[in-house]
Amino acid sequence: MSDPRDIAAERLEEIAAELERAAQHCRVAAQHYRERNVPRAAAHAWAAQGHIHHGSGALLELAEEHAARSIPSAG
């Protein structure tokens, strides 16, 4: 079985890639707005939101898994 830290690292890389796709869509949307092409800009902004939603959901899931295993301590 793989080390849980390696699994977490791989998942974080996947999340980063998802959020980078969101950033790419934002850049394209910005260019379309500059070109006054609002429908295409809106389509890319909407796609960016989908990638952000997916990435943040995956990050939340990873955080919840960590919280379930975490042992609170004062030290």
pLDDT at 2: 87
Residue 67 token pair? 């919280």
1 SS3 class: coil
One digit per residue, the tens of pLDDT, for the chain of length 75 reads 589 899 999 999 999 999 999 999 999 999 999 999 999 999 999 999 999 999 999 999 999 999 998 888 866
Q: How many domains does the chain fold into?
A: 1
The Cα 32–Cα 55 span in angstroms is 24
Q: Are 48 and 30 in contact (CB under 8 A)?
A: no
Residue 72 token pair? 């609170």
72, part of any domain: no
42, part of any domain: yes
Alpha-carbon distances of 59 from 18, 20, 28, rounded to whole Å: 11, 14, 25
74, part of any domain: no
pLDDT at 1: 55
Residue type, 32: H
33, part of any domain: yes
